[in-house]
Structure 1
C-alpha cells in the first residue's frame, strides 16, 4: 500500500509539472525576473525547457540572468540555443552580440548586430552597438554611417551624436566631430563639453581663420 502511495505522489507531481505549459512557466519566470527573484525565475525557465525543449524564449531569458551574474559563457550557450531553436529571434542575436563584444570578438559581434538589424530594421541599440564594434576595428566611416542611421530614425538621439562626434575626431574629421559633440551637449550630454574643451577649442580654427 505504501508503494502505491509513493507512486501516486510521483505521478501527481509529474502531472502537475506537465499540466503547465512552457509558455506559462516562462511568463511566471518573467514576472519573477521583474521582481528580482532571479533564482526562482531560473527554476521556472528550467521547467519550461523540461516541458518543451524547443521553447526558445526560456533559453533566452535564462541566458539574460546568467549574463547578469557574469556567467558569460553560460549565457552564450543559452543564446546560441535560443537562436538554434528560432533563427529569427532578433533579441537573442542582439544579446549574443553583446556577449561577443564583451569577449572582444568584434567581427562576431558585428555579424550578430547585423542579423538583429535584418530582423528589426528599427533597432537603434543594434546600430549603436555595431558602431561601437566597428570603432574597435577602426572602421570609422562604417561606424559613422551607423550613427547617422540612428539619427535618421531618431533625430535627437544624444548617444548617437556623442559617439559620431568621437568617431569623427578619431577619423580626423575635426570640425564635424566637434559640431556633433556640441549637439550632444545641447541635448544634455554634459561630458561632451569635456571633450570639446580638450579636443576642439584650440584646434578647430587655425590662427589665420581666427584673425
Structure 2
C-alpha cells in the first residue's frame, strides 16, 4: 500500500512538472517570458533535477535580458547534465550579452567538444572571437 502511494505521488509530481513545463513553453512562444519563468519556477519546485526546466527558464530570462539570472539557470542545467551541448551554447550566449567574452568562448568550446558537429556553437564562437578582435582594434586605435 505504501509503495503504491509513493508511486502515485511520484507519478503526479512528474505529470505536474510536465504540465507546468508545457505551459511555460507555450507562454515562451507567445513571448510572455515573465509568465513562462513563473511556470518554470513551479516545475523546478516540483522537480529541481529537470535540466530542461532550468534551461527553459534560462532562455526566458535571456529574452528578458536578465543575463546574470540566465547564466545561473544554465549553470544548473549543466550541473545536472554537463554533456548536453545546447546548455553550454546557451550559457555562452548569455555570457556574451553579459560582456564576459572569454567565458563565452570557453562555453562554446565545451559545446563543440561535446558534439564536434555543433555548427551553432562553432559559429557563435567564431562570431565572439571576431567581436573580441574588433574590440581590441577599436580600443587600440
For 2:18 and 2:85, locate their aligned partners in 1 and report how far apart those are by CA, in whole Å. Answer: 19
Secondary structure, in 3 states, of the residue corresponding to 1:20?
helix
Unaligned ranges ≥5, structure 1: 1-16, 139-169, 171-211
For 2:25 and 2:60, locate their aligned partners in 1 and report how far apart those are by CA, in whole Å. Answer: 11
Out of 99, 103, 124, the residue aligned to residue 108 of structure 1 is: 103
How do 1:76-91 and structure 2 match up within 5 A?
Answer: 76-91=71-86
Out of 33, 48, 53, the residue aligned to residue 48 of structure 2 is: 53
Give the number of the structure with larger relative contact order, counting CA–CA contacts within 8 Å between residues 6 or more apart: 2
Alpha-carbon distance, 1:95 to partner: 0.9
How many residue pairs get aligned? The number is 126
Matched, 1:39 2:66: no
For 1:77 and 1:71, locate their aligned partners in 2 and report how far apart those are by CA, in whole Å. Answer: 10
Root-mean-square deviation (Å): 2.6
Q: Higher helix fraction: Structure 1 or Structure 2? A: 2
Which protein has the larger Cα radius of gyration, Structure 1 or Structure 2?
Answer: 1
Q: CA 1:121–1:23 in 2, change beyond 3 Å: closer, same or farther? A: farther
Unaligned ranges ≥5, structure 2: 1-11
Conserved in 1, the CA contact under 8 Å of 2:13 and 2:47? no
What TM-score does the superposition give when structure 1 sets the normalisation length?
0.53
Secondary structure, in 3 states, of the residue corresponding to 2:75?
helix
